[in-house]
Amino acid sequence: MKLVFATHNKNKFREVKAQMPSHIELLSLTDINCFDDIAETEDTIEGNALLKARYVKDHFGIDCFADDSGLEVEALDNAPGVYSARYAGPEKDANANNRKLLDELQKESNRAARFKTVIALTTAEGEKLFTGLCPGVIVKSPRGEGGFGYDPLFQPDGYDRTFAEMPLSLKTEIGHRGKAIAQLLEYLKVE
């Protein structure tokens, strides 16, 4: 089975590819020569995931799944949420996003947060959504060298390490994207 994962993000692609069974040939946007800027114009995580998956299916005719993820911080009314990648500006600078988040939480005692991923699958049979959640807290300063985005600031519940301090295998197992991908794979087995 050939399936496109609508991303150019090499870190994200590597994470997801590690979960794919051998009978699924996973392709990235780069692999199908899609270099179009698919603007994330929806105001929900679900909407952006669907937008990207539909774009690939409509323009390239290949079954596709796309994800959109966000960090939802309780004390900030679930911000940055759908704007997580652009929290500090349109440049999508992870370091600037992390600094802004720490500044916003400087005087907050409630540091509860959760990562949310929604995967939208588009095939000839239709569309399906899968949601993965990972609750945790925002630590007071970045820790760890691995991962990407907010990983150095996010410590999942039940662990004493941030995502950036964990091996990829553990992050995949307990993380939001891993949970959503597991649901996708379960669905593809049944299909």
Residues with catalytic function: 68
Closest CA to 134 of 159, 105, 109, 152: 159
H or E element in which residue 176 lies = helix 176-190
DSSP 72-124: EEGGGTTEEETTGGGTT-TT--HHHHHHHHHHHTTT-S--EEEEEEEEEEEET
Contact between residue 147 and residue 163 where contact means Cβ atoms under 8 Å apart: yes
**178 Cβ contact list (under 8 Å, min separation 6):** 15, 19, 132, 171, 172
**111 Cβ contact list (under 8 Å, min separation 6):** 73, 75, 105, 137, 138, 139
